[in-house]
Amino acid sequence: MPGHLERAANLVLSENRRALNDVSWRAVTKLVTLISGADRVFVLGEGRSGLAVRMAAMRLMHLGLQVHVVGETTTPPLSRGDVLIAVSGSGGTPGVVLVAEQVRAAGGQIAALTTTPSSPLAAIAELVVAIPAASKHDHDSESSAQFAGSLFEQSTLLLFDALFHALSRDLGKTSEVLWAAHANLE
């Protein structure tokens, strides 16, 4: 059994390395610029994609940004100058697309992370970061040997962790400064 688990771990790591090597870092750099210039950042995703982007929201908050998770009871109204980071592997998740349309109508900017650059979500967004991974509807194992959208969700989290690391360095945020923004009600 241990050999089987080690092979599985190596598969996950190699697939993520391949996916992130094939991401457009120019698009990710534009995402950093969009985030840095926003008045406030709103994040949205469903299921595991939603969990990954919530983890990203936490790290952006540690950097001192105003960040809100769409759908939480304390989320304020979005306005011009704000940005929505919408995460959907398929780019067609109905609730995510609907909110993106509302953001567009309210004058906010939209960054989409998706496996499908030709999706409805991507068509609405100013910026698309395409992650070359299988969406949850892709079951042919061509893009990933992992189940459903696992590679997309993992790569999304790793991409945001890399983004956070680079931004924290660029902004001169030491571990002590970041820790001061960490939750103390645990």
Active site residues per annotation:
153
Number of H helices, E strands in the chain: 7, 5
Q: What is the DSSP letter of 113?
A: E
Q: How many CB atoms lie within 10 A of CB 128?
A: 23
| Residue 37: φ, ψ to 5° | -90, 0
Beta strands in 73-183 (DSSP E): 83-87, 109-114, 127-130
Tokens of 88: 């959907």
Class of residue 90 by CB neighbours under 10 A (exposed 0-12, middle 13-18, buried 19+): buried
